[in-house]
Amino acid sequence: MPRGARLDSPGTLHHVIIMGIEEGSIVRDDTDRKAFLYRMGLLAKGSGTSICAFALMTNHAHILLKSGPDGLSSFMRRLLSGYAPYFNRRHQRVGYLFRNRYKSIICEEEAYFDKLVAYIHLNPLRAGLVETLEQLALYPWSGHAVLLDRVKYDWMDRDYVLRFFGGSAGAARTAYLAFLEKELATDREQELSGGGLVRSQGGWSRVQSMRKRGRKALGDERILGGEDFVKEILKEAADGKEVPLSEHERLQLFDEAAEQACEVAGVTVTFLRSGSRSGRLPSLRKQLARKGAFEIGLPLAEIARRLGVTPSAVSYMLKQK
């Protein structure tokens, strides 16, 4: 079944889940953790993306964010395509680091914001990376320590999150900690890790009850929220007009795809553009030529220049099956 398109507009609240390929590690030590968070913070500040909560684990990460003017896809593409080559170079590996498609769920803020913040920040404790709430307060790889003012990340929207729990910083932290302790006793894994009809209606029993009354409800796997919220998001998506990428954005997208493909193939971009026909280079160029022409919409001459071949060679690649 085809995967649904991303739903997004500036200011939309997303719960993003990033997984390592085949459940492999995406960080191996504190140097990796610092590099991942540094890149995420730099991109957040540069793109106007608001980070509300996060937890960097070993083989996955959770991020609660509000997308900026350029949208979620642009932010995530730059985050993952920039971090993966760093990780592969540092650990002398080749191949994909992340699962092909990160998971993103649009969330109804009023109903779920506090639960999502708690759920994400409790991840290190539930996974055994720390043993107590006291240790969690000192764990530097999640937003919990930022809310408690134990760690400084100026790219996290700490004040916005605290205002959700109280008027003053002190009262908000007290209320937040009390809520966290309460949530520690509640398993919300199934409730908060996706969207869909059951979650939208508040549980399977309510869905069954509605069906017995002959009433159908709207749900969408990309959305966590009530039926009215689901309808509103889907209507906005249907009414929205797709904005074409600028030439600069399309070139950047192609260059990022080329860099990632070269990492997987174990060659450099310079070698890709050298004109050599050794090894996997012909099939790699063909793959990138088709992506550039059919998915990104670049002119043949521009694709040829970025692959180190002639436009006629690109034309030949596109005619092949």
Assess if residue 108 is contained within a domain. Answer: yes
In a domain, 205, yes or no: no
Question: In total, how many domains does the chain have?
Answer: 2
d(CA 150, CA 276): 53
177 and 51 within one domain:
yes
Strand arrangement of the beta sheet that strand 223-224 belongs to: 50-56, 60-66, 13-19, 103-107, 223-224
Q: pLDDT at residue 88 above 90? A: yes
* CA–CA distance, 86 with 268 (Å, rounded to integer): 13
Please indicate, yes or no, whether residues 151 and 78 belong to a single structural domain of this protein.
yes
Assess whether 78 and 186 both reside in one domain: yes
Q: Is residue 285 part of a domain?
A: yes
Residue with more model confidence, 5 or 311: 311
Q: Band of the pLDDT at 200, cuts 50, 70, 90?
A: very low
Residue 190 has pLDDT above 80, yes or no: no
Final residue of a structural domain among 149, 172, 194 = 194
Residue 129, Cα to own-chain centre: how many angstroms? 22
Residue 186: which residues within 8 A CB-CB, separation 6 or more?
none
Whether residue 113 sits in one domain with residue 20: yes
Query: pTM of the predicted model, to two decimals?
Result: 0.69
- The two tokens of residue 108 are 């109804």
Query: Residue 84's domain spans which residues?
Result: 13-194
| CA-based nearest residue to 127, from 136, 116, 114 | 136
Of 174, 194, 214, the residue that ends a domain is 194
Are 159 and 19 contained in the same domain? yes
Q: Which residues of 118-134 are buried (b: 16+ CB within 10 A; e: fewer)?
A: bbbbbbbbeeebbeeee
Sign of torsion, CA 129 132 137 138? negative
The reply to whether 172 and 102 lie within a common domain is yes
pLDDT digits (tens, 9 = 90+) for 298-314: 888 889 999 999 988 98
- The length of the chain is 321
**Residue carrying structure tokens 């249907």:** 238
Q: Do 251 and 189 share a structural domain? A: no
User: Model confidence over 115-133: pLDDT tens digits?
Assistant: 999 999 999 999 999 999 9
Residues 273 and 187 in one domain: no
Parallel, antiparallel or unpaired: strands 60-66 and 103-107: unpaired
Co-location of 140 and 17 in the same domain: yes
Alpha-carbon gap, residue 162 to 173, rounded angstroms: 7
Q: What are phi and psi of 20, to 5 degrees?
A: -70, 150
Residue range 88-112: average pLDDT? 87
- Who has greater pLDDT, 34 or 311? 34
In a domain, residue 225? The reply is no
Q: Share the mean pLDDT of the chain.
A: 84
For residues 24 and 155, membership in a common domain is answered with: yes
Report the pLDDT value the prediction gives residue 216, as an integer from 0 to 100. 44
Kindly state whether residue 215 falls inside one of the protein's structural domains. Answer: no
Domain assignment present for residue 230? The answer is no
Examine residue 6 and state whether it is found in any structural domain, yes or no. Answer: no
Residue 39 is predicted with a pLDDT of 97
Structure tokens at 65: 């964010």
Q: Pick the last residue of a domain from 177, 194, 211.
A: 194
Regarding whether 269 and 172 lie in a shared domain, the answer is no
Average the pLDDT over 26-44 and give the result.
Answer: 97
Same domain, 182 and 310: no
Q: Tell me, yes or no, whether 216 lies in a domain.
A: no
